A = this chain, B = another copy of it.
Amino acid sequence: MRNLTQDNITQAVIARLAQTPDPRLKAILTSLVQHLHAFAREVKLTEGEWMQGIEFLTRVGHITDAQRQEFILLSDTLGLSMLTVAMNNDKPAGCTEATVFGPFYVEDAPSFDLGEDVARGAPGEPCDVSGVVRGLGGEPVAGAEIHVWQADAEGKYDVQRGEAHGHRARGVLHANGKGEYHFRSILAEAYPIPDDGPVGDMLKATGRHPWRPAHLHFMIKAPGYETLITHVFRNGDPYLDSDAVFGVRQSLVADWVKQPDGRYKVEYDFVLNPAGEAR
Contacts and interface: CB of A to CB of B under 8 A. Distances in A.
Contacts of A47: 84-85, 88, 101
A250 B2 contact: yes
Contacts of A69: 54, 58
A71 B202 CA distance: 19
- Output the residue of A26, A37, A75, A206 with the most chain B CB within 10 A: A206
Interface residues of A, number: 76
A84 B87 CA distance: 32
B250 A3 contact: yes
Nearest to A27: B43
Interface string A186-206: 000000000000000010011
A164 interface: no
Contacts of A61: 57-58, 60-62, 64, 71
A205 B19 CA distance: 9
A79 interface: yes
Contact of A57 (B34, B36, B71): B71
Given A1-B242, A58-B64, A6 B49 contact: no
A20 interface: yes
List of 8 A-B pairs having minimum Cβ-Cβ separation, nearest first: A61-B61, A19-B207, A13-B79, A35-B39, A6-B86, A20-B206, A35-B35, A2-B248
